Amino acid sequence: MAGEDIRKDLRELREQIEALREAFSRVTQPYSELAGALERLQDLSRGYLRIMDLVQRYGGVSPDLATPGVKDDISRHIVAALLDRGERNISEITEAVKGRRGTASRRIVRERLADLERDGIVVATRGLHGRTFRVSDGVRERWSQVLGLPKYEDRAENVRRQGGGTNGR
């Protein structure tokens, strides 16, 4: 009898300990989410301070920092236009370059795009409505590093792998 009472008491204690563990886990979950949000805020602040440092040192933040080998003015404006708004066709790029420098011909933009593509700075994709262009992954990564943002891309990838973050509860 005494042995069975002890087993019963032990079973109850185990159940209570497990219930306490679950309760503790539920109570601490918001704090772990808060810690994650705080870490993201710190990363964002570091990126902001890095950008401010670049502005203070160089007078601005320009895509030239990510593509230092591009010396031609039109080519620099093409890269800036593609960093501003992702994939574009030749007409859209020409208009963006005209908006930045006041003048640009479609023929010159096409020639510079061919040079940039050959140098691995720009990638062309053939679509239904002709070719579109975007900066290469390497340039995008360098630009993210200049801005201090690669950690966000890594974190977003981790969230996708883990099942979408906190909305999937």
Domain encompassing residue 46: 1-61
Tell me, yes or no, whether 55 and 92 share the same domain: no
Domain count, the chain: 2
| Whether 138 and 75 share a structural domain | yes
Identify the pLDDT of residue 1: 66
Task: Give the closest residue to 136 by CA, choosing from 79, 74, 70, 55.
Answer: 79
Residue 130: left if φ>0, alpha if ψ -120 to 50, beta else—which one? Answer: left
Q: Dump pLDDT digits (tens) for 119-158.
A: 999 999 998 878 999 999 888 888 887 777 654 444 444 4
* Predicted pLDDT at 150: 56
pLDDT bucket at 107, cuts 50 / 70 / 90? very high
Is 127 in a helix, a strand, or coil?
A: strand
pTM here is 0.59
- Name the more confident of 47 and 73: 73
Helices (H), 59-136: 73-85, 90-101, 106-118
Q: So what's the pLDDT on residue 160?
A: 45
Same domain, 99 and 57: no
